[in-house]
Amino acid sequence: MHHINRRSFLKTASLAAAAPGLSMVAGRAYAAAEFTLRYANNLPVTHPMNIRAREMAARINAESKGRVEFQVFPNNQLGGDKDMFSQLRSGAIDFFMLSPLILGTYIPAAQISGIGFAFKDYNAVWAAIDGELGAHVRQLIEEKPIFAFEKIWNNGFRQITTASRPIAHVKDLQGVKLRVPTSPIWTSMFKSLGASPASVDFAETYSALQTHVVEGQENPLAIIYTAKLYEVQKYCSMTNHMWDGFWCLGNKSSFARLPPDLQAIIRNAVNDAGMKERQDVDALERETRGKLEAAGMKFNDVDQGEFQQQLRTSGFYADWQKQFGPQAWALLEKYAGKLG
């Protein structure tokens, strides 16, 4: 967070003769922002996350009556996830959207919602993540210099795409070089399924696919579409192998510097935008398969049971049950049903 710096002070001061205490933006007078806040994410500007983020920023700026200037940096403008996450922790970025699974590189127990085939639909997801499972994870995050707003945003149910041949059965994944986000559970899951997972930040994913450094990747349809991954991938296998979201994380000490009224404005705007974005992504997932087919992608459905069975027999569930511990696992199964 940046308080009024020397340059903006001077700019304001030079306008003071015309309009004391005000600066001019596009011909309109605004009080100079007291707090400039930086919010960053890894998704394209056309993804619902960024459409809602722009709305959210405008709302915060308006409700704060110009005291806050809420800046949105989409599409890895400030670096890949690893860089942005370290900037969040240092306070160079105030807010950052991160998958609970990638957060697992820092807080291993935060990945629990990413267990394969845990949630059968969105009702189960929101019950868990707005309920005790999400509360458990947010509490773990709060032990660090960061925090998560109450309402997680939606990434979606993930599907596998490949360049040269479709994935119809588990055997088709054997040895396939598959890009996964950097996260212990992602690597573990795709090793258990027999693939050869490679951790690559989303910022480098399109080019890794384009140059055939990897054969495939997995992401929700809303991302395959808005990040134009269909340009460099041919097949899409509807595995729905896990649900993924984005915590809107904040830097605790920069948030604590804001007065309570501004904190409340931001909290409400972030949570409301997140709730709308959940629905947007759900709707986009339902209408995007046809668009991707029109763009030349070939789709196939799979028997999810076959993939889940492979996770059972490979010991994936048993291993992670041990790592998360009986209490957290019981919370997961409360919403997911018996796993493993």
Binding site for ligand X2X (CB under 6 A): 42, 99, 102, 155, 181, 202, 219, 223, 244
The β-bridge partners of 153 are 246
Q: In angstroms, what is the minimal distance from the CB of 270 to ligand X2X?
A: 18
Q: In angstroms, what is the minimal distance from the CB of 43 to ligand X2X?
A: 6
Q: In angstroms, what is the minimal distance from the CB of 155 to ligand X2X?
A: 5
Question: Which is nearest to 229 in space by CA: 169, 279, 158, 300?
Answer: 158
Residue of minimal CB distance from ligand X2X?
202
Dihedral (C-alpha) 232, 235, 237, 241: value to the nearest 10 degrees? -20
At which residue do the structure tokens 């409301």 appear? Answer: 272
Residue nearer to ligand X2X on the CB measure, 30 or 106: 106
CA terminus-to-terminus distance, the chain: 45
Q: In angstroms, what is the minimal distance from the CB of 156 to ligand X2X?
A: 8
Q: In angstroms, what is the minimal distance from the CB of 45 to ligand X2X?
A: 14
CA distance 1 to 62: 19
CA distance 271 to 312: 36
Residue nearer to ligand X2X on the CB measure, 42 or 188: 42
Residue nearer to ligand X2X on the CB measure, 111 or 308: 111
CA 326 to each of CA 16, 333, 340: distance values in angstroms, whole numbers, following the listed order: 63, 10, 13
Main-chain phi, psi angles of 324, to 5 degrees: -80, -25
Q: In angstroms, what is the minimal distance from the CB of 70 to ligand X2X?
A: 21
Token pair recorded at residue 257 = 């510097």
CA distance 135 to 171: 38
Residue nearer to ligand X2X on the CB measure, 31 or 208: 208
Residue nearer to ligand X2X on the CB measure, 5 or 207: 207
Residue nearer to ligand X2X on the CB measure, 60 or 134: 134
